[in-house]
Structure 1
């Protein structure tokens, strides 16, 4: 199972910063890279130019990278920015794919309940990943990334 987990999950490095990256910021990077301008990208991401600029700045700080050269003529991706934009596009695609696949999945029939893992009236059952060490490790990693 460790072989398929991202390096940062296995080593614990950068986990705090990665857990705080928002999908909206990744979308903003992709759109800015595409249109070459924060002014034109911001409305496409449903935010003001000031908010978009601040989001990019925060993302760059969290990653410890400069993603764009800011010029009067617009934005230009740095080498690191190109890598982040490519991965961001894949992440957003996978997120979309996840949602579509989950909507097509059959109804769950597990013994794990929402509401802090206790059975209660009217609680929805959710599927368990199982009790194998690999499944438990994956479940713990998922919980860690969601709650940190």
Structure 2
């Protein structure tokens, strides 16, 4: 897909709205405890690394395997997962000696996290396509922006 300046802007704004709606959907998907109002969500805790970690933990059933796949230490992954659970106000996994098992809230959060990661993949693909379609002679032609080629938001099925 080739984007003009205005259509790329519309695509990026639509993707940003989708991610924002996904964050709201994630907050609504996680039920509050009885008699307790839902917590104020700290959107800083809903970062892409935490979402990817959530998905990997759900897919692998192991914090250490998920941490390794996400290039995190086990302690760092555990801390990040605990902060995510604190931000959402509920437990996402049952932890036992054989690994992790999703709670009902964790299953709902995983669905919303997949949607967020797919939206990010669409964003990256749109930007890459727009960069490839830039006319030759443009001041940015030939320069690589650090990071855009390094983004990977693969979603485990």
TM class, shorter-chain normalised? 0.5 to 0.7
CA distance in 2 between counterparts of 1:63 and 1:26 reads: 12
Higher relative contact order (CA 8 A, sep 6+): 2
- What is the TM-score of this pair, normalised by structure 1? 0.61
**Is 1:62 matched with 2:87?**
yes
1:80 to 101, 105, 108: 105
- Please say if residues 45 and 84 of structure 2, whose CA atoms lie closer than 8 Å, have aligned partners that are also in contact: no
- Aligned length in residues: 104
Structure with larger Rg:
1
Give the CA RMSD over aligned residues: 2.9
Structure 2, gaps ≥5 residues long: 1-17, 25-37, 140-157
**Is 1:37 matched with 2:62?**
yes
Which whole-Å deviations, capped at 9, do the CAs of 1:4-57 have from their partners, x for residues lacking one? 87395xxxx977612442100000000000000101110100001010000000
Which whole-Å deviations, capped at 9, do the CAs of 1:69-100 have from their partners, x for residues lacking one? 00111100000100111111111111011111
Runs of 4+ in 1 over 4 A off after TM superposition: 13-16
